[in-house]
Structure 1
Amino acid sequence: MLLEFSVGNYLSFKAKTTLSLAATSIKEHIDTNIFSTERSDLLKGAVIYGANASGKSNFIRAMSTMRRLILLSFEQSSADELDITPFLLNTETEKASSFFEVVFIIDDTRYRYGFEVDDKQIHSEWLFEAIKNVEKALFLREEDGIEVMKSFPEGKDLEERTRDNALFLAVADQFNGKIAKKIMQWFNNFITISGLSHEGYKGVTFEMLENKQTSLTLLDFYKKLDLGFDDITISKKPFDPKELPNDMPESFVKQLVTDLEGAFRIDIKTIHKKYNAKDKAVGNVEFDMRSQESAGTNKLFNISGPVFDVLNDGGVLVVDELDASLHPLLTLAITKLFNSKEFNRNNAQLIFATHDTNLLYYGNYRRDQIYFVEKDQYGVSNMYSLVEYKEEGKTIRKDRSFEKDYIEGRYGAIPFIGNLSNVVTEWQEK
């Protein structure tokens, strides 16, 4: 369960910026949008709005980067760079390290874990634990070394085994540390995906459709959305080099044959009813999912696996451009899964960036779930929630039309378009 994610000096975020899923005291949608733990009430997700290039994707990329650094840390060599880009538009930050921190709950214990890192090395790293209310350090890492506390015995004698560009948490996990293993599993269920490049996620959907229990849930979901087909068939075929184009260079063919040895090609077909002249059903027709179904149907299919996988595991799903290629009602259907007691029994959380303002009205989001990202004149991205926003010194009331206000620019975080007629006139005069 995620409480907070913070990032600083990374891409367009100069100062430390935090997204919190700790529910505030407001009373909206208490029965659906929040869940309770022994120590706090948490939100089932958050939606992020902002103009193009405001920094929405950068914030989500920060989450993805932290996850990547943690899960892949031990696999790298001492010569590998870490692919970290600080805020480059200021002399104070361009050569400084980036900051990442997450606060989360595992088995009713709160953890706070983070690190400061640049492209070459880890400059600091910390892990704190709070079994009750008092937080205590498990380990602290600085430039001059790593201090392991008595309450973290699994980290003892691993200090010298940790490379400058490796995370100590990942090293402890490799040596089967009990706490480190739990935290690494938590990050494994902290899924970040792109709503634009979603082809790579369909493998998860395949696996769920091959499982009898999860396939029924997915197929029922597709039917409720009325996507135009009645069923789906999946077939696996071993990779056959004879299916490669004849004009492909021989060296490339040889490389593909080597790389794809033992691999399978998966074909997905949608089943549609065929009708006669009197509109009577007379049979079925198979359509190829990729070439004969819409971009929106393909996207929904590809990301439905990760969506239901997270719902089943009670993890965290982070999606950039969730609404891309999707009808607003389909986007709404996905978001409502996470606020559903029927589908979200394990308190999964959904964080996503979108331009779909319909969700501000129909999505039934609380003010503390709505975030805006805005970039200032210095290229710095700033993020704030609607519950934090003040207008003439007062908070925004819950009965306001959030969508209308946002489009009118009352909350900021929208593009300044200017007078387009002047642009057209100048172009015509050239």
Structure 2
Amino acid sequence: MLIEFSVGNYRSFHQPVTLSMQAASLRHKGEIDRQNVFLAGKFRLLRSAAIYGANASGKSNLVRAMMFMRRFVLDSSTKLQAGDPIDVQRFAFNMSARQEPAYFQIIFLLDGKRYRYGFEVDEKRVHAEWLYRTRQRETRLFVREGEVFDISGPFRKETTGLESRTRDNALFLSTLAQFNSPTAIALLDWFRSRFQGISGLDDTFYGTYTMHRFEAEENFRQRVRELIRLADVGISDLTIKNVPFNSPALPEELRNVLETIAQQEGKPASEFLLPRIQTFHPLFKGETQISQESLDMDEESEGTQKFFYLLGPLLDTLEDGITLVTDELEARLHPLLTREIVRMFNSPQSNPRNAQLIFATHDAGLLGECMLRRDQIWFTEKNRYGATDLYSLAEMKERHDASFDKNYLAGRYGAIPFLGGLRPFLEQEMQRGEKTEAERSKTS
């Protein structure tokens, strides 16, 4: 489980900020506390966190920071060669920041132990890296400063001679895993399988994954069918059907691509089959249902398609008790569907394995549903220097029963765009245009 994540000098973040999934000591104790908080050892952790803010305020950059850290941990020793640049973007609007490395740190639980791991990096090299583990007290496993490695005695047997094998542009932890360090392998497996992210805007990757699971697993099919019916999108059933590459049921652009592939293979397109999701809707004669009408999933609304495609990673997350990070969760979804997804994570009944959902959103309606504790509500806001600050509602003096949604939209918590000049500007432009048109009419 994720306890906290920190980032600094990365994209719009200048000074380090921290997103904490540790429940704050709030005075109000009620149903929402029992639902939205779970115990993991001695830690009280949150099941979900929502990140609000104006466009370009840094919400997406927080998600990007988490996914950069994950990707660099998994790939730095295997996919980068000596001398390859590191794809990290430091804060651009401060001269001193250009001389400093980006900073990333994550604290998480694995097998009952607390790990604190982080690194500092620029486009050329890893400047620092550290790993600590806590059982009863925090113990240093290793600290790296440039080319100097300080490794604790018990951990040294897993690292013998590997300091010299670690490239400047690779993480020591990643290198250790490549050479079969048990601790490093376990930690990389946590990053790979228990700390994941998806895009709320592009469902191409996980959409394909959901389709494959739907095709292969009967239990998954039944759960998806039930959830789709409960979502009340007008679909009574779903199935999967293999259709020829040249089938009119496929979108024209897809048919053209697939027919090109078939030509390259030297076979007719009709011999190639592609799995497609078919949906079924009630067909009525008057007020009596007489049959069902089938549609291809591509003919459904974009919101229905996204909800279906999301079910693969969402159900995986809930089944395996992992941490899922996503940007623009509500994009193309009806607000009620977004709320049901959040409720699925906040409920101990539907989330018994204590999965965590961290999502960036503009859906202020979630704030007015008594769904989120104050420490689950986070805001991003840029200061006058173009740097993003990150803070939670729990840091403010706010009543637990306040109208969070109305107060947020009224600007009480910050993190909203200042639009005061938009309407006057457009009004002036319209008046100027009308005046110009009137003057033209007089001269004509």
Q: What's the TM-score, normalizing by structure 2?
A: 0.88
Give the 5 Å matches for 1:337-352: 337-352=344-359
Change (3 A) 1:123 1:228: same
Give the 5 Å matches for 1:93-112: 93-112=97-116
Could you tell me which amino acid in structure 1 is paired with residue 25 of structure 2? S
Spell out, residue by residue over 1:283-308, the C-alpha distance to the aligned partner (whole angstroms, 9 max, x if none). 22221112x10011111112121111
Could you tell me which amino acid in structure 2 is paired with residue 269 of structure 1? Q
Aligned-pair identity (%)? 43
Could you tell me which amino acid in structure 2 is paired with residue 229 of structure 1? I
Whole-angstrom CA distance in 2 between matches of 1:378 and 1:2 = 31
Tell me if 1:33 matches 2:33.
no
- Cα offset, 1:363, TM superposition: 5.0
- Cα offset, 1:135, TM superposition: 0.6
Could you tell me which amino acid in structure 1 is paired with residue 19 of structure 2? L
Whole-angstrom CA distance in 2 between matches of 1:330 and 1:99 = 36
Tell me if 1:124 matches 2:133.
no
Spell out, residue by residue over 1:98-151, the C-alpha distance to the aligned partner (whole angstroms, 9 max, x if none). 11110000111000011111112211111100012x111111111122232222
Whole-angstrom CA distance in 1 between matches of 2:144 and 2:225 = 48
- Cα offset, 1:245, TM superposition: 7.5
In structure 1, the residue matched to 2:165 is 161
In structure 2, the residue matched to 1:367 is 374
Could you tell me which amino acid in structure 1 is paired with residue 72 of structure 2? L
Unpaired segments of 5 or more residues in structure 1?
A: 390-394
**Aligned pair partner of 1:333 in 325, 332, 340:** 340
Whole-angstrom CA distance in 2 between matches of 1:20 and 1:264 = 48
- Cα offset, 1:421, TM superposition: 3.5
Whole-angstrom CA distance in 2 between matches of 1:219 and 1:32 = 26
Change (3 A) 1:32 1:266: same
In structure 2, the residue matched to 1:388 is 395
Spell out, residue by residue over 1:157-190, the C-alpha distance to the aligned partner (whole angstroms, 9 max, x if none). 2111111111111111122222112211211121
Could you tell me which amino acid in structure 1 is paired with residue 205 of structure 2? G
Give the 5 Å matches for 1:225-236: 225-236=231-242
Question: Does the CA contact (< 8 Å) of 1:332 and 1:363 recur in 2?
Answer: no
Whole-angstrom CA distance in 1 between matches of 2:212 and 2:197 = 18
Unpaired segments of 5 or more residues in structure 2?
A: 267-271, 434-444
Tell me if 1:217 matches 2:223.
yes
In structure 2, the residue matched to 1:287 is 295
Change (3 A) 1:418 1:246: closer
Question: Does the CA contact (< 8 Å) of 1:336 and 1:363 recur in 2?
Answer: no
Change (3 A) 1:275 1:119: same
- Cα offset, 1:217, TM superposition: 2.1
Change (3 A) 1:257 1:87: farther
Could you tell me which amino acid in structure 2 is paired with residue 25 of structure 1? S
Give the 5 Å matches for 1:128-167: 128-132=132-136, 134-152=137-155, 153-167=157-171
Give the 5 Å matches for 1:196-345: 196-209=201-214, 210-236=216-242, 265-276=274-285, 278-290=286-298, 292-345=299-352
Q: What's the TM-score, normalizing by structure 1?
A: 0.91
Question: Does the CA contact (< 8 Å) of 2:48 and 2:342 recur in 1?
Answer: no
Whole-angstrom CA distance in 1 between matches of 2:280 and 2:305 = 14
- Cα offset, 1:416, TM superposition: 0.4
Question: Does the CA contact (< 8 Å) of 2:245 and 2:255 recur in 1?
Answer: no
Matched residue SS, 2:164: helix
- Cα offset, 1:269, TM superposition: 1.2
Matched residue SS, 2:97: coil
Greater share of helix: 2
Question: Does the CA contact (< 8 Å) of 1:98 and 1:116 recur in 2?
Answer: yes
Could you tell me which amino acid in structure 1 is paired with residue 154 of structure 2? S
Spell out, residue by residue over 1:40-92, the C-alpha distance to the aligned partner (whole angstroms, 9 max, x if none). 11111210111111111111110111111112222222233221110000000
Change (3 A) 1:266 1:123: farther
Bigger radius of gyration = 2
Question: Does the CA contact (< 8 Å) of 1:195 and 1:320 recur in 2?
Answer: yes
Q: Provide the aligned C-alpha RMSD in A.
A: 2.7
Could you tell me which amino acid in structure 1 is paired with residue 199 of structure 2? S
Question: Does the CA contact (< 8 Å) of 1:86 and 1:95 recur in 2?
Answer: no
Could you tell me which amino acid in structure 1 is paired with residue 202 of structure 2? S
- Cα offset, 1:24, TM superposition: 1.2
Whole-angstrom CA distance in 1 between matches of 2:265 and 2:5 = 43
Could you tell me which amino acid in structure 1 is paired with residue 117 of structure 2? Y
- Cα offset, 1:207, TM superposition: 3.6
Matched residue SS, 1:337: helix
Whole-angstrom CA distance in 2 between matches of 1:62 and 1:385 = 18
Whole-angstrom CA distance in 2 between matches of 1:14 and 1:409 = 24
Q: How many equivalent residue pairs?
A: 419
Question: Does the CA contact (< 8 Å) of 1:13 and 1:380 recur in 2?
Answer: yes
Whole-angstrom CA distance in 2 between matches of 1:122 and 1:239 = 48
Tell me if 1:413 matches 2:420.
no
Whole-angstrom CA distance in 2 between matches of 1:182 and 1:214 = 28
Runs of 4+ in structure 1 deviating by more than 4 angstroms, as ranges, are 236-240, 243-249, 252-258
- Cα offset, 1:388, TM superposition: 0.6
In structure 2, the residue matched to 1:3 is 3
Question: Does the CA contact (< 8 Å) of 1:82 and 1:119 recur in 2?
Answer: yes
Change (3 A) 1:158 1:333: same
Whole-angstrom CA distance in 2 between matches of 1:267 and 1:417 = 45
Matched residue SS, 1:163: coil
Whole-angstrom CA distance in 2 between matches of 1:190 and 1:89 = 30
